[in-house]
Amino acid sequence: MSITKESELQGMQQVSEAVAYTQREMQRYAQPGMTTQELDEFGAQLLSSFGAKSAPYLTYGFPGWTCISVNHEFCHGIPSRKRILKEGDLTNIDVSAELGGFWSDNGSSFVLGADRYGHQGLVDASKEILRKTIDNIRAGVKIADIGQLMESEAKKRGYKVIKNLGGHGIGRALHEQPDELLNFKNRFDQRRFKKNSVVAIETFIATQSSYADTLSDGWTMVGDRGGFMAQHEHTLVVTSGKPLILTSGKPLILTEGNGVWN
């Protein structure tokens, strides 16, 4: 969507506050020994307290309220009473919701407890790349150039990007134009970011794979060559200067927030 009036910005801030708060509190609540279904149900309660509804459930009939992916699961992991979180797990929580006709999306990978398996470097790289990416987005900047920046930053750190996943427009639905905001340069993509447009920018930084495949459950995605992936995502409004980051916890401040940065 494109923000055309103050009430639309307020609506986006309200739903973004709900998803940012839920994201942060789910990370705090997660503990070794807990099932991902318990964690998901906690997130559902938080969204409900805002009057917000799960976006993947509303849009796709996803079998959970949030997406929770663990270790080799890259994204779209289904919460389960059989999946028990363990110390050192590479964990991704992706929260998206609808409130008052507005939609927002916020994702974050983190290491649960002590970094027993050396995942923190991947997580930090993904955060750093998202920060640098967002800091370079302006109205008029080519979408493909931002993709090139993401891939080059990943390569500098010894990582790959997932080429069949990307960010997307958002606002009046979970996925809108511009779609396929990819983590690499598509030389055929001549589109540019437009002032006042709302987009969800996300990293997909991986250790071994360049593509993600869907498992037989129809949802969970893993790497085509295995390995691990970290994802971080913010919903923002494009401006002629630095973007307005709606899901940072404090919408207009880049350096503070809900744990995606910190």
Tens-digit pLDDT profile for the chain (262 aa)?
999 999 999 999 999 999 999 999 999 999 999 999 999 999 999 999 999 999 999 999 999 999 999 999 999 999 999 999 999 999 999 999 999 999 999 999 999 999 999 999 999 999 999 999 999 999 999 999 999 999 999 999 999 999 999 999 999 999 999 999 999 999 999 999 999 999 999 999 999 999 999 999 999 999 999 999 999 999 999 999 999 999 987 644 333 344 443 3
Note the helical H segments in the chain: 6-29, 36-50, 55-60, 120-135, 143-156
- C-beta separation of 87 from 202 below 8 A: no
In 3D space, the residue among 30, 115, 120 whose CA is nearest the CA of residue 66 turns out to be 30
pLDDT score of 249: 78
Q: Which positions ≥6 away from 14 have C-beta within 8 Å? A: 50, 99, 100, 102
Supply the pLDDT for residue 261: 36
Q: What are phi and psi of 75, to 5 degrees?
A: -165, 170
Model pLDDT, residue 46: 98
Task: Output the known binding site for substrate.
Answer: 76, 175
pLDDT value at residue 251: 43
CA 58/CA 128 separation, integer angstroms: 32
Query: What pLDDT is attached to residue 1?
Result: 96
Q: Annotated binding site: which residue ranges?
A: 76, 94, 105, 168, 175, 202, 233
Binding residues for a divalent metal cation are 94, 105, 168, 202, 233
pTM over 0.85: yes
Cα angle at 95 between 44 and 18, to 5 degrees? Answer: 70
What pLDDT does 250 receive?
63
Tokens of 24: 């942060």
CATH topology assigned to domain 6-245: Creatine Amidinohydrolase (3.90.230)
